[in-house]
Amino acid sequence: MSEKREVILSGIRPTGRLHYGNYFGAIQHFIRLQDEGQCCYYFIADYHALTTITEREDFYGQTIEMLRTYVACGLDPEKSVIYRQSDLPCTAELMLLLGMITNIGFLERGTTYKDKLTKLQEDPKSEGNPLSYGLLGYPVLMAADILIVRADKVPVGDDQRQHVEMACDIAQRFNSRFGDTLHVPHPVGRDALRLPGLDGASKMGKSEHNTLDLLDEPETVLKKIRGVETSTDPLPLEVESNDPDIIVPRMPGGVGVLYRLLHLLAPEEVYLDFVGKYRRKEKFYGTLKQTLAEYVSAFNAPIIERYNAPGNDEASVCDFLRANAKQVTPVALNMVERCRAAIGIGHSLYRA
């Protein structure tokens, strides 16, 4: 007998080009859950992205580019329901309802909000976005995204975990006020691997300009990898372990990231061979970079090919976005109607 399928939901902000940090931190987990046959909802959080907008941005274009890359990596719009947050505008209504029962003090403890507040206090003249109502309400919008599809599990990276816990609190508060209506989900860690950036910084990120991208062609890959700083004298490794989680943090700057990537992409014996060279302090960074660049390019090649495949152009992506938005809309509207009924507003006459 097959077990009941779990409802999995996760959102990703539209950032356009996807990099190795995105792949190993999120995309590979999304694909695994999809291939396990769970009921997966993955959406592009374009409303959330508005908290950092400073001028007009091509959100639509970035969303399409991202979706084409997702499909190229193996996310399958036939198996997962992949949609755009703003194609489900009833999420905004649920956010409004949830916002009415959410204390400001509770939201002020949100990390995203607190970080921004601290930055502004340190530098009141700093350019960029205001401390907006939308930013304070960020976790309420996330709660609406999650609760509207009755998600059981929400895989997120560590930075988003608190927001998911807040969604659980908000759901519980709603239920204790208005009766059992919302399904309280579980946050699940993605065992998210945080990749260091090519500059040796602790995190690979688009705004840090230190990414290796999934659509990088071989010349770019080689150029980026050659540019990784390895001139610092290697510290002798004092650890016996071959585990990159133990080795990488002990290596200076860029050397660590080369080993981390090699471990992810190359066969074990190749990785271990280079660990041996490092321990013996041989001169080998040129070969290491060359070898790694080849593995990276081999990893990217099929993704680039599928990205450009005829069935993955803008028109095809729009088709599945539309179809998937249609599929999730009744699920979401049903939930909003149940919340309206629970509160006592009654059904929307417009929708009936």
Q: What is the contact surface with ligand TRP in residues (CB under 6 A)?
A: 9-11, 13, 45, 48, 142, 145-146, 154, 156, 160
Look at residue 297 and give its three-state secondary structure: helix
Question: Is the CB of 14 or the CB of 256 nearer to ligand TRP?
Answer: 14
CA angle, residues 50, 325, 314, in degrees to nearest 5:
75
The C-alpha atoms of residue 265 and residue 10 are separated, in whole angstroms, by 26
Partners of 156 in the β-ladder: 189
Nearest residue to 225 (alpha-carbon basis) of 237, 235, 210, 215? 210
- Report the nearest approach of ligand TRP to the CB of residue 12 (Å): 6
- Report the nearest approach of ligand TRP to the CB of residue 115 (Å): 12
Nearest residue to 188 (alpha-carbon basis) of 166, 158, 167? 158
Dihedral (CA of 149, 153, 157, 160) sign: positive
Tokens matching residue 303: 């993704």
- Report the nearest approach of ligand TRP to the CB of residue 257 (Å): 22
CA angle, residues 343, 344, 345, in degrees to nearest 5:
100
Question: Is the CB of 155 or the CB of 200 nearer to ligand TRP?
Answer: 155
The C-alpha atoms of residue 87 and residue 145 are separated, in whole angstroms, by 12
- By Cβ distance, which residue is nearest to ligand TRP? 11
Question: Is the CB of 27 or the CB of 142 nearer to ligand TRP?
Answer: 142
Tokens matching residue 351: 């929708």
Question: Is the CB of 10 or the CB of 211 nearer to ligand TRP?
Answer: 10
- Report the nearest approach of ligand TRP to the CB of residue 207 (Å): 13
- Report the nearest approach of ligand TRP to the CB of residue 103 (Å): 20
The C-alpha atoms of residue 8 and residue 15 are separated, in whole angstroms, by 22
Question: Is the CB of 141 or the CB of 255 nearer to ligand TRP?
Answer: 141
Question: Is the CB of 162 or the CB of 220 nearer to ligand TRP?
Answer: 162
Question: Is the CB of 8 or the CB of 255 nearer to ligand TRP?
Answer: 8
Q: Where are the alpha helices (DSSP H) in 100-197?
A: 104-107, 111-122, 133-136, 138-147, 158-178
- Report the nearest approach of ligand TRP to the CB of residue 145 (Å): 4
